[in-house]
Amino acid sequence: MNRRRLLKLIGLPGLAAVTGAGYVTAARSRNRYYQGPPSDHFDGVRFSNLDGSKDRGFAEFLRWQLGGGREDWPGSYPSPFHDRPPARVDGLRVTLVGHASLLIQTAGVNVLVDPHWSERASPVSFAGPRRVNPPGIAFEDLPPIDAVLITHNHYDHLDLPTVARLWHAHRPRILAPLGNDAIIRAYDDAIPVETGDWGAAFALSGSVTAHLVPALHWSARGLNDRRMALWGAYVLATPSGQIHHVGDTGYGDGAVFRAVRERFGRMRLATLPIGAYEPRWFMRPQHMNPEEAVRAMQDLGAEQALGHHWGTFRLTDEGIERPIEALAAALQAQGVPAERFRAMRPGEVWAPARHGRA
């Protein structure tokens, strides 16, 4: 991957669900979500990854679905944790809501990433991946939400009923990569959405800034909108240190992580996906496995990592506890203390020190 090109997109404004439906090859057409000038990751219709990696086609999707090898999941996998967060914290406090939804409280600012309180990660309410544990924070127990960060538009990350519910209850700022505003407004045109290209920066307060950076992934909500909305990850610059949150990404050659470290310095915290990675031949370009997540943590120079994107929605072939088993093995193999990379359960809290209520 071209290092100068990657650093430019991380440091400067850009030049311009895992569901069956998402794997249908789409005919080339006008982009329904975003109209802007072509760039080195946008051809005027579709966005692309910096390393040239491609999402899988329909024939490969069928090969996966018909190939067998999927491990069973339990119908229920309740977490022993449940959180009732304080209204505000001065330092840093992170709670896993479930799957890729996290509440990050820092410097008096409350941020939700990829919030998802619905029963299914699906375009319909009666079918599709169903959650096997309740959200680790009851919606009614949320503190005042100042900002919602969306990483991409797959159904397990962009849950429109939850976004609308949050908007009407809390009036947060909604931030998302290019094109995702059209998707959200089509669901509820009362919701204002701020979008940006890779390299965009959003000031959430006088001391907290969210930076949108590249990830190796893709997007689709249906049959004919593949890669018409951008995807990404975030770096939160805070008084408690830098936080890198990744919703979904492939590892590639690790350049996306090393470029973040070069641009922003060592991360205080990295929240990284560790699930939805089998079969490897299919998932490698778009989802890290635990061994790659440990490498990503080291590329970032992260003092602490928290693992998410496992144990809530059954999306791929591995069993429900395979990610935590594989993470433990990877940490041991790479000589990393187990406490430096925790696989979080819904409702579980991580904080580097005790923080008081506001």
- pLDDT at 17 (0 to 100): 37
Q: Is 86 among the domain residues?
A: no
Q: Is the pLDDT of residue 203 over 60?
A: yes
> Is 279 part of a structural domain of the chain?
yes
For position 55, what pLDDT does the model report?
A: 83
Does residue 102 form part of some domain?
yes
Give the C-alpha separation, 30 to 22, whole Å: 18
Number of domains in the chain: 1
pLDDT over 80 (residue 162): yes
Predicted confidence (pLDDT) per residue in 35-75, tens digit: 999 999 999 999 999 888 878 888 888 888 888 889 999 99
- Overall average pLDDT of the 182-210 stretch: 97
For residue 5, the model assigns a pLDDT of 52
Mean pLDDT across the stretch 19-44? 72
Task: Specify the higher pLDDT residue, 127 or 56.
Answer: 127
**The pLDDT value given to residue 2:** 58
Could you tell me if residue 60 is inside a domain?
Answer: yes
Give me the chain's average pLDDT, please. 91
Neighbours of 127 (CB within 10 A): 10
Contacts of 45 (CB under 8 A, 6+ apart): 28, 29, 30, 31, 228
The pLDDT tens digits for 262-295 are: 999 999 999 999 999 999 999 999 999 999 999 9
The band of 23, judged by pLDDT with boundaries at 50, 70 and 90, is very low
End-to-end CA distance of the chain: 45
Would residue 263 count as lying in a domain?
A: yes
Output the CA torsion 61→288→334→307 (10° steps).
Answer: -130
d(CA 234, CA 254): 16
Distance between CA atoms of residues 227 and 121, nearest Å: 19
Please give the helix or strand (H or E) that residue 170 lies within, else none: helix 160-170
Half-sphere exposure (Cβ direction) of 163: Cα atoms closer than 13 Å: 30
Residue 13 pLDDT: 34
pLDDT band of residue 4 (cuts 50, 70, 90) is low
- According to DSSP, residue 40 is labeled T
Residue 217, helix vs strand vs coil: coil
Count CB neighbours of 298 within 10 A.
Answer: 19
The domain containing residue 168 runs over which residues?
Answer: 3-69+91-350
Q: Cα 169 vs. chain centroid, distance in angstroms?
A: 23
Region 246-260: mean pLDDT is 97
Q: Which amino acid is at 349?
A: V
User: Is residue 323 in some structural domain?
Assistant: yes
Pair of tokens at residue 187: 């669901």
Q: Is the dihedral of CA 314, 320, 322, 325 positive or negative?
A: positive
Q: Output Rg (C-alpha) for the chain, integer angstroms.
A: 19
Note whether residue 190 is domain-resident: yes
User: Cα torsion at 117, 120, 126, 128 (round to 10°)?
Assistant: 170
Please report, for the domain that includes residue 324, its CATH number.
Answer: 3.60.15.10
Instruction: Reply yes or no on whether the pLDDT at 354 is more than 70.
Output: no
The answer to whether position 344 is within a domain reads: yes
Long-range contacts of 34-41 (CB under 8 A, 24+ apart): 34/178, 34/179, 34/182, 34/228, 34/229, 34/230, 36/178, 39/14, 39/15, 39/197, 40/5, 40/15, 41/9, 41/14, 41/198, 41/214
| pTM across the whole model | 0.91
